[in-house]
Structures are given as C-alpha cells and as structure tokens.
Amino acid sequence: MTAVARPRAEIVALLRDLGIIPVIRCDSADVAVRVADVLVEAGLRAIEVTMTVPNAMEAIRALAARAGRSHPRAVIGAGTVIDAAAARGAIDAGAEFIVSPGLVPEVIEAAKATGVAVLPGALTPTEILAAARAGGDLIKIFPVQAVGGAAYIRALRGPFPELLLVPTGGVDLHNVADFIRAGATAVGVGSELVSRDALAREDWTGIALCAEQFIAAVATARAQPRRAAPARV
C-alpha cells in the first residue's frame, strides 16, 4: 500500500478547520478532476470523490498527484466506500480520508490499518455511538435533512458533546449556517454545490461562485455564538 503522506490527526484537523467537504458525483473521472480543480481554486480544499463516479480511482490518483504539486494544501478523499477492498484501493490511489454512507466495520478497520482518517456514516444515536466506538474520526450524519436537519444535530450535541459530527444530505446555502451554529464540526455538500445542471452546462464559474458563498456562510456562522444543545438524557 502507498504510504500515508500526512498523519491521520493532521487530516482530521484540516477537515475540522476547512468545515466543508464537497461531495463530487458525476459521470466521468475527467469531469470529477475538473470540478475538484475548480473547487480547490475557489478555496474548498477538502474533496470527496465518490465511488459512484466511473473510474473513481483514476480521479483520486490524479487529484492526489495534484495535491502534492499544483494544490499542495488540498485533501483528497474517497466517498461512498462500502467495503474494505474499495477502501484499500482508494488509499492506494492516494486518498487521505475515507467516507462511507453507513456503518461498515471493515471499512473503518481498513482505514485504521493504514493510518487514514475515516468518516463512517450513521443516523440514529445507536449507530453514532457504534461508529465512534469502532474508531470513526468524524461521524457522517446521513441523510440529515430527512430527520430534522439542523435541529437534529443540535439534539445530538446533548448526549454527544465531544463527537465530531458531519451532517450530509440536504445541506445547502440556506441552511448551512444553521448546521454550524447547531454544533456541526463540518458539513458534506453534494448537488447543492455541484448541481447536475451546472455540470451539464460546464458552468465552472457558477460552481466556483457557489463554493465561495458556502465558504462565506460557514465563516460567518462560526463567528456567531453557538446555540445551546439540549441537556443530556
């Protein structure tokens, strides 16, 4: 396996600091690389390429090479990882963090074995606790908007004040500040940032503008007082 370029703790700290993880889903590896380049140039330096992208490993490999040259501060990860083989393949290609849509112990184990940061997916309090105990560095809360959005994250902060929660699924420019104020460590953003329509039109300028708006919204929210979470139960 490829040696990890940066320590896991450093990647976790970067993801926390950046606060936004763009989730790239598109129809080709070439387009994924083009979108990632646009986002990194706009200031979104944590990039998640999902395994649903055709030839996703090629995109991750190309972006990981760029992260060492033209984008030295970028952090490239793999998303929608549902088995250990995919996790190991993505890590070999250069992924520095692994994201799964649900709690898959073998994915967590594969990432931990190579010192790579891992974000297991979870939704219920039981799943969230299991993901944390299994070794998840940050916990992806998905699909968050379907179960209450920012209010759900705020409720989770009561029993889980120390966990690093990353709500994903329905985060957009209208509610991203609410998620940050509710206690989200970072957010995962997919089609709300890189829409199918923008991809079809190759509207790179529009995607970059949207990225800048997300960055500004998160920065503003982080500068505001966090709303109190309910008491522990």
- DSSP states of 57-115 as a string? HHHHHHHHHHHTTTSTT-EEEEES--SHHHHHHHHHHT-SEEE-SS--HHHHHHHHHTT
pLDDT level of residue 215 (50, 70, 90 thresholds) = very high
pLDDT-above-70 percentage for the chain: 92
CB 16 within 8 A of CB 24: no
The pLDDT value recorded for residue 71 is: 59
- DSSP states of 5-21 as a string? SS-HHHHHHHHHHH-EE
Cβ atoms within 10 Å of 229's Cβ, excluding its own: 17
Largest CA distance in the chain: 49
149 vs 179: CA distance, rounded Å = 8
Average pLDDT over residues 102-109: 98
The pLDDT value recorded for residue 119 is: 98
Burial of 191 (C-beta count, 10 Å sphere; 0-12/13-18/19+)? middle
Which one is catalytic: 10, 48, 109, 192? Answer: 48
104 vs 125: CA distance, rounded Å = 16
The pLDDT value recorded for residue 225 is: 76
pLDDT level of residue 70 (50, 70, 90 thresholds) = low
Residue-wise pLDDT tens digits, 120-141? 999 999 999 999 999 999 999 9
Average pLDDT over residues 188-217: 97
Cβ atoms within 10 Å of 7's Cβ, excluding its own: 12
215 vs 41: CA distance, rounded Å = 12
Count how many residues are written for the chain: 233
Active site residue 48: yes
226 vs 165: CA distance, rounded Å = 15
Which one is catalytic: 41, 106, 109, 140? Answer: 140
The pLDDT value recorded for residue 1 is: 41
The pLDDT value recorded for residue 66 is: 82
**Is this prediction's pTM over 0.85?**
yes
Residue-wise pLDDT tens digits, 17-60? 999 999 999 999 999 999 999 999 999 999 999 999 999 999 99
Residue-wise pLDDT tens digits, 148-178? 999 999 999 999 999 999 999 999 999 999 9
CB 117 within 8 A of CB 75: no
Q: What is the chain's mean pLDDT, rounded?
A: 94
The pLDDT value recorded for residue 224 is: 87
CB 92 within 8 A of CB 2: yes
Average pLDDT over residues 181-189: 98
